[in-house]
Amino acid sequence: MKKMLLSLAITAALAGCGGGETLEDVKNDTPPVIPSATVKFDPANGVISVPNDLLMSGTKDGTINIPGELSANGASVPRSAYANPSLALGALDGWSSQVPYKVDLTFPANVSLDESSAGAPGAVRIFEVVMGASLTDADCAAVPAGAGCKLLGELTFGVDFITKASGNAVAIIPLKPFKAGSSYINVLTTELKDSLGRSIQPSSTYGLVKQEAPLVTESQLALQGVVNSYENVLISGGTITKDEIIYSAAMTIQSVGPVLGTIKKLLAASLQNPALPKPQVQIPEQDMLTVAEVLLSDPDITNVSPAFNGVQYQRGSVTLAMYLSQPEGKEISKLADTYWQGMCSSPVAVLNQQAADQALRDAGKEDEIDPTMFGIGPYEQLCQGLSEGKLHDYPKIDITRHLTKYNPLPKMQSLQEVPVQITKPILPVINAIRTQTGMPALEMPAGGWPVVIMQHGITSKKEHMLALTASLAIQGFATVAIDHPVHGERGIDVDDDG
């Protein structure tokens, strides 16, 4: 009966069109429906724009999970594989602080992105947030990792970042570096339009998981929980509504301070603790030499400023801790397998192993637990002492030992005697030059000359910094410089050409 009534209703509706119109007439008069442009987002099928913290879900050690980083059986790839740029991100605990990025969109035929909307304020908004499992915010420490927790503020378009159309994508260009170790949520809004003036729509996946009603599968529920946590944090500030959001993605910026901060603490401790190696420059007795003489010893240099005759050149050495290991050969794989590594096991990896063991216990499979996984390694005492008891050395856990904010203690590979280049003003010559230019004469301060530490760039060497020493000597500065690892005198002769 219901089907009959429906059929009658449709017939009556068509008959009521008037003018003797047929069904074919109605079809011809109906404008074609053009599908909507959408944001590309389908994580289950690998469709995801980066940066995106979804790639840190299930991380084994607190680093990004890059596709291809794990072998077919789930084991980590060899350490040397991280020399491959496509996998290098997998060694980091976050994304770049300043590299531009984009969010991909998909368009139906004959439709494109409205470039003016893509470059206007409001189409893309970026919010600074605190994520779950925070190491610095007690309120968010107990919130699950990967979930949004607390809104801190919003970045300003035109001051902190700008956006522009980039083919079938909207590009986001930072004008200031994002804060290291901080988290942000990128948001695309209904202000982003297509060439027909219509708002870009969420992908079917995003539209599904942003709903409040619980979904069915475990993966759907997990993604729904994450997306809803993002949007709930965003709307808590009262400046945006859920209806305006067509896409949101969290990104945590790589931390760069913890590891270097740890090294600085170790260096500072070496000044008081004689058990720790103390870097101290040794300058042996040597003949007087000027920077002018050093520069002219290069056959490619035929003339230098007389000012370089007023700069004394000396050579010394300093014993430094090396965190790069020496390559065991000259093959690319051997040269690549020298990156810094942690002394201790990542606490993220330790927690994962503990959770896996507990799952076996809960399933009544205690006989499958490997008791040797928590065997103590040779750095246990140092790990415990230098981390206030937070870190351990379990050799079977966290084989790659990537350095992160969770695991900031680098492993010293060796002590290396490093050549040091030193320059100092030669007062009679320098004062003669200062007198000629109307400057008063200099005297060496009671505590010695103030020192400028010179650092060369990639592919360069410390000797290239000598070009700046005359100007600095005239102003009363000494300089010191060393070669960076695998540069200059510390280089590796890969092809044996000297």
- Dump pLDDT digits (tens) for 326-376: 777 777 767 777 788 999 999 989 988 998 999 999 999 999 999 999 999
- Compare 280 and 9 and report the one with higher pLDDT: 280
Taking alpha carbons only, the member of 276, 496, 320, 278 closest to residue 420 is: 320
Give the Cα-Cα-Cα angle 99, 407, 152 (nearest 5 degrees).
55
Parse the chain into domains and list their residue ranges. Answer: 1-30, 38-51+94-252, 259-322+414-490
Of the pLDDT bands very low, low, confident and very high (cuts 50, 70, 90), residue 139 is very high
Tell me the average pLDDT across 49-71: 86
What does the pLDDT look like over 415-428, one tens digit per residue?
A: 889 999 999 999 99
| pLDDT reported for residue 190 | 97
Other beta carbons within 10 angstroms of residue 336's beta carbon come to 16
Rounded to two decimals, what is the model's pTM? 0.78
| pLDDT reported for residue 30 | 64
What does the pLDDT look like over 124-133, one tens digit per residue?
A: 999 999 998 8
Asked if pLDDT for residue 404 goes beyond 80, the answer is yes
Q: Does domain 38-51+94-252 have CATH number 3.20.20.140?
A: no
Asked if pLDDT for residue 206 goes beyond 60, the answer is yes
How far, in Å, CA of 219 to CA of 212, rounded? 16
- Of 49-58, 101-110, 444-453, where does mean pLDDT reach its minimum? 49-58
- 216 with 54: CB under 8 angstroms? no
Q: Output phi, psi for 443, to 5 deg.
A: -130, 145
- 147 with 176: CB under 8 angstroms? no
| pLDDT reported for residue 345 | 96
- 237 with 229: CB under 8 angstroms? no
Tell me the average pLDDT across 52-62: 88
Residues 6+ apart with CB under 8 A from 408: 258, 259, 261, 262, 342
How far, in Å, CA of 271 to CA of 278, rounded? 7
- 224 with 139: CB under 8 angstroms? no
E strand or H helix at 369: none
Residues 6+ apart with CB under 8 A from 454: 421, 462, 465, 468, 479, 480, 481
| pLDDT reported for residue 365 | 93
Tell me the average pLDDT across 377-392: 93
Of the pLDDT bands very low, low, confident and very high (cuts 50, 70, 90), residue 76 is low
How far, in Å, CA of 234 to CA of 228, rounded? 10
How far, in Å, CA of 420 to CA of 317, rounded? 5
Of the pLDDT bands very low, low, confident and very high (cuts 50, 70, 90), residue 28 is low
| pLDDT reported for residue 10 | 34
- 451 with 331: CB under 8 angstroms? no
Of the pLDDT bands very low, low, confident and very high (cuts 50, 70, 90), residue 17 is very low
Q: Output phi, psi for 429, to 5 deg.
A: -70, -45
- 394 with 375: CB under 8 angstroms? yes
Q: Mean pLDDT over all residues of the chain?
A: 88
